[in-house]
């Protein structure tokens, strides 16, 4: 019984000659490297490794683009993001860096592009309470202590790894284009089953859902398609499960 393409690996057998040879090789590598080393060290406090633009570091927030959809909070695997009510009664995210695992699921869930990644990742906190970052502190790029005068890039060329050093400070934040827009809108698929509990209206952050009493005393919920951001909160909360997110077909 032989499986195809299995390679048998046998460890080496050494006789005296091999032993001397391998000893010479080992010593040779050490001597060669101590004369002409292939050093791969980044002198961190005085220089910094350049991280790519997609690096996942601390998170910034733009309140103008936020639709308060709670997606970042719902998707956060560590429950580090929790929403806090702002003075304008909207819910905005806060990040607890004592829990954040920098998976950036939140940024990937933010359809408006309100959450943005920075390249900040080397931070030491004196106490744990300071690790909680309220919304107000997430809007502008924070300052960190920097001692770096150069930045290093790891360049993997065909022959070997090379370190490219450049004078100057590496930037810590890069603006990326907002995600593709996929307009969605909440629609009621079975208005007849509506029990008028108004949960959808209560939960809507944009006042897109309003209640009106129709003739005959039945309560009808009305969704304003222009105001609706497609955040999906009403869909989730609807006690009768009669709301649905639909793609908005714009002519």
Partner 1 sequence: MEETEKDRNIRILHSGVFTPLRRWATKWSLWPCHFLTSCCGVELAHTGACGYDMERLGTLNMGISRQANFIMVEGTITRKMARALRIVWEQMPDPKFVNVIGACGQRGGIFWNSYNITRPSDIVPVDFFIPGCPITPEGLLRGVRAVQEKIEGRDNTTIRFKHVELPPGDGEENRAPTTPKIFAPTPLVRVDVPRDVDWAFGNDLVKNLKAQLNGLYTSITITEKNRIAIKTTPENLVETSRKLSDTMGVDHVKSVNVIDVPHERKFMVEYMVSGYTEELMPVILTIFTEIGREAEPEITSLASLWESANYSERELHDFFGVQFKGNKGMKGKFLLAPDTPDTPLRKDFKLEEEQYTIEEGVPLTPAITPPHYTPPSSSSPSYTESELEDLKMPAYEDVLKEAEKNDEFVAFIGPHHSGSGHLRWVMRMKGDIIKDVIPDPGYVHRSMEKIAENRLYIQNVPLTERPNISDPINMNLGYVRAIENALGIEVPERAKYIRTIMAELSRIGAFFYDMGIFPLFMGHSTGFMYSFAIREMVLELMVRMTGSRCTPSFIIPGGIRRDISDDVLDRTRNFTSAIHKRLKKYENIFVYNPVLISRMKEVGVLTREEAIRCGIVGPFLRASGVEYDVRKAEPYEVYDKLDWEATTGDAGDCLGRIFGRLEEIKQSVEIVRQAVDAVQGMPRGGVISEEILGDYKEASDDIRGYLYNVYGDLVLPKGEWTSVTEAARGTVLYSIISDGESNVPYRVRIITPCWMNLRGIIEASKGERVADFWTVYASFGYFPPEADR
Partner 2 sequence: MMEIINTLMETVMSNQVSIPLIEPMLDSLPEIPMLQYMVAFMLWKPIFALLICPGLTVGGLSLLFFPWIERKLCGRAQWRVGPHEIVWWLGGVIQLLADSLRFLFQEVIVHKDAHRPYFLQFPFLSFMIFLLPLLFIPAGTIVAIQTPYAIQIILALVCLFPLFILGFGWASNSRFAYIGTVREAFMYFAYEIPFIIAAIAMIILYGTSDPLLMASRQSIPGIILNPVAALVFFIGAAMATGRMPFEIPDSDQELCAGPHVEYSGIAFGLIYVLCYEKGYILSALMTILFLGGGSGPAIAGLGDLSGVFWFVVKTYLVLTTLFMLRAVYPRYRLDQGLKLGWSPMLVMAIIGLAISLVVVAVRVI
Q: Which does 6 bind (CB under 5 to 8 A by kind): partner 1, partner 2, none?
A: partner 1
Candidate list 17, 35, 36, 88; residue touching partner 1; CB under 8 A: 88
Candidate list 75, 197, 211, 240; residue touching partner 1; CB under 8 A: 75
Smaller CB separation from partner 1, 1 or 35: 1
# chain residues binding partner 1, by CB under 8 A: 131
Collapsing DSSP to helix, strand or coil, 117 comes out as strand
Say if strands 47-49 and 150-156 run parallel, antiparallel, or are unpaired.
parallel
Question: Binding to partner 1 (CB under 8 A): which residues in 178-237?
Answer: 178-180, 182, 184, 199, 202-205, 207, 232-233, 236-237
Longest dimension (CA), the chain: 104
Candidate list 65, 105, 197, 210; residue touching partner 1; CB under 8 A: 105
Question: Binding to partner 1 (CB under 8 A): which residues in 151-180?
Answer: 154, 156-161, 178-180
- Does 135 bind partner 1 (CB under 8 A)? Our answer is yes
Beta bridge partners of 188: 243
Candidate list 19, 46, 164, 165; residue touching partner 2; CB under 8 A: 46
Show the CA angle centred on residue 239, arms to residues 233 and 245, nearest 5°. Answer: 40
Q: What is the 3-state secondary structure (H, E, C) of 155-222?
A: EECCCCEEEEEEECCCCCECCCCCCCCCCEEEEECCHHHCCCCCHHHHHCCCCCEEEEECCCCCEEEE
Q: Return the DSSP state at 72.
A: H
Show the CA angle centred on residue 210, arms to residues 206 and 212, nearest 5°. Answer: 170
- Does 250 bind partner 1 (CB under 8 A)? Our answer is no
Can you tell me which residue has the tokens 């601390």?
58
Smaller CB separation from partner 2, 46 or 165: 46
List residues binding partner 2 (CB under 8 A): 26-27, 30-31, 33-34, 37-41, 43, 45-46
């Amino acid at each position: 019984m032989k499986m195809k393409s299995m390679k048998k690996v046998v460890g080496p057998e050494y006789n005296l000659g091999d032993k001397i040879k391998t000893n010479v090789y080992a010593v040779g590598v050490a001597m060669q490297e101590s004369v002409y080393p292939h050093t791969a060290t980044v002198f961190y406090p005085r220089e910094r490794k350049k991280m790519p633009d997609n690096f996942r570091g601390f998170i910034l927030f733009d309140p103008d683009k936020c639709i308060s959809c709670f997606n970042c909070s719902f998707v956060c695997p560590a429950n580090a993001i929790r929403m806090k009510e702002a003075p304008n009664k909207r819910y905005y995210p806060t990040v607890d860096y004592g829990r954040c695992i920098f998976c950036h699921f939140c940024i990937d869930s933010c359809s408006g592009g309100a959450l943005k990644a920075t390249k900040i990742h080397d931070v030491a906190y004196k106490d744990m309470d300071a690790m909680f970052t309220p919304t107000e502190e997430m809007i502008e790029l924070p300052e960190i202590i920097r001692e770096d005068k150069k930045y290093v890039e790891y360049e993997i060329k065909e022959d070997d790894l090379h370190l490219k050093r450049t004078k100057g400070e590496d930037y810590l934040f890069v603006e990326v284009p907002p995600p593709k827009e996929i307009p969605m809108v909440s629609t009621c698929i079975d208005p007849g089953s509506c029990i008028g509990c108004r949960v959808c209206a209560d939960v809507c952050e944009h006042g897109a859902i309003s209640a009106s009493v129709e003739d005959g005393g039945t309560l009808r919920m009305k969704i304003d398609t222009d105001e609706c951001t497609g955040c999906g909160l009403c869909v989730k909360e609807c006690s009768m499960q009669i709301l649905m997110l639909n793609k908005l077909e714009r002519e």
